[in-house]
Amino acid sequence: MSDYKCFLVFLVFLVGCVSQQPVSEELPVVEEVLVQCWDNSTADSLEECPSQEIVEVKIEEAPAPKILEKTLMQELLQKAPADYFYYDGLDGIIVSGNKRSTGEYNEYWNAYSRIMFWNTETKTIYILAPRHVQEFWWLEKQGINQTAGNRSTRMLPAFFEVKLAGNEDVDENLMPPEFNKYWFDAKEGELVRIVRPFYSKGPVDWMREYELDVPVEIDNTEMLLSNVGGNARSNLSITYKNKGKSAPFVIFRFDNILGVPLFIDEVDESGKLLKRNSFEIGVDYISQHKRVKVSENLVSLPEGSIVISVKDYEKYSED
């Protein structure tokens, strides 16, 4: 047999052997299940995850707002009267809140005094004119004409309005020069003297200037305070560094009943008295020899009054 025939016989034999091999079954597919742990890692089961530590979360509470304590002077101001009358040795002032007046308006008595009303916040002062103004003239000035038979005979209290700065040097130039013709004590260059009571500083006004200050000394020694208004007992004196230039220290000496200072002393480092501010104080006002309880109506412009300019008042005087 030739070599070629032998190769063919071997090839047929080989194919036959391969075709007789059994067909193997498919192998099963195993799906692997992984678990994601709390820390984002993976494991075959929960048991294989790392142990989780329990972290306690603390919620911090917001701090409580601080309650600011009142100063001693602020506590005293809460108890001080809002309506009262005081005399500072030169002028008598009626006080109701921020409003002030030099007295109660009276159509008969005010010919002998210069009545003024003002507000400490606005610094606008109203000064009663020397003479009242006829109502019929004022109405015609406003464009309200009256027949000859129906003319009003009433006289109206007329007030000049002056807006001040609170500084006497500045206010001198704000005063109308015509004022020197209306009052005997009004002189050119000294017109600001007309509104002198406007600059008066009462006991409660002093207290407000020092309401935020820390006292240098507090003295509870019992003492008797004597002035023109009589005697009063005091068991409270408070020393502060003076805000003014006249003395280094100021001492408030309080009246036990009203709770406001009767004396405000300006002293040097040794306690030597350099200046005494003395007050008579009361919650009522003497009006025409009668005691009247201080109230807001005493510091308000009277009913039926008018505010007139100096120019119009001059015109009225000419007419």
CB atoms under 10 Å from CB of 95, counted, come to 24
Sign, Cα dihedral of 272, 246, 208, 125: positive
CA–CA separation, 80 and 100 (whole Å): 16
The pTM assigned to this predicted structure is: 0.74
**pLDDT at position 67:** 61
Above 80 in pLDDT, residue 274?
Answer: yes
Region 15-22: what's the mean pLDDT? 48
pLDDT bin (cut points 50, 70, 90) of residue 316 is: very high
pLDDT bin (cut points 50, 70, 90) of residue 152 is: confident
Sequence-distant (6+) residues with CB within 8 A of 224 are 231, 232, 233, 234
Above 70 in pLDDT, residue 227?
Answer: yes
Above 90 in pLDDT, residue 186?
Answer: no
pLDDT bin (cut points 50, 70, 90) of residue 50 is: confident
Above 70 in pLDDT, residue 7?
Answer: no
**pLDDT at position 15:** 44
Give me the torsion for CA of 58, 62, 64, 65, rounded to 10°.
160
CB atoms under 10 Å from CB of 66, counted, come to 6
Give the burial class of 84: count Cβ atoms within 10 A of its Cβ; 0-12 exposed, 13-18 middle, 19 or more buried.
buried
Considering the chain, what is the average pLDDT of its residues?
84
| One-letter amino acid for residue 236 of the chain | L
**pLDDT at position 31:** 55
Q: Higher confidence at residue 57 or residue 236?
A: 236
Residue carrying structure tokens 């001693």 = 72
Cβ atoms of residues 216 and 239 within 8 Å: yes
**pLDDT at position 5:** 46
Above 70 in pLDDT, residue 16?
Answer: no
pLDDT bin (cut points 50, 70, 90) of residue 177 is: very high
pLDDT bin (cut points 50, 70, 90) of residue 32 is: low
- DSSP string across the chain: --HHHHHHHHHHHHHHHHHTSPPPPPPPPPPPP-EE-TTS-EESSGGGSPPPPPPPPP-PPPPPPP-PPPPHHHHHHHHS-SEEEEE-SS-EEEEETTEEESS---TTGGGGS--EEEETTT-EEEEE-SS-EEHHHHHHHTT----GGG----EE-EEEEEE--S-HHHHTTTS-TTHHHH-TT--TT-GGGGGGGGG---HHHHHHHTTTSPPSEEE---EEEEETTEEEEE--EEEEE-SSSS-SEEEEEE-TTT-SEEEEEEE-TT--EEEEEE-EEESEEEETTEEEE--GGGGSPPTT-EE--HHHHHHHHH-
Above 90 in pLDDT, residue 140?
Answer: no
CA–CA separation, 109 and 316 (whole Å): 23
Region 71-83: what's the mean pLDDT? 95
Above 90 in pLDDT, residue 196?
Answer: yes
Structural tokens at position 170: 């500045």
pLDDT bin (cut points 50, 70, 90) of residue 18 is: very low
Q: Where are the domains of the chain?
A: 95-200+289-319
**pLDDT at position 24:** 46
Above 70 in pLDDT, residue 8?
Answer: no
Sequence-distant (6+) residues with CB within 8 A of 98 are 119, 120, 121
Q: Higher confidence at residue 106 or residue 282?
A: 282
Structural tokens at position 260: 């406001």
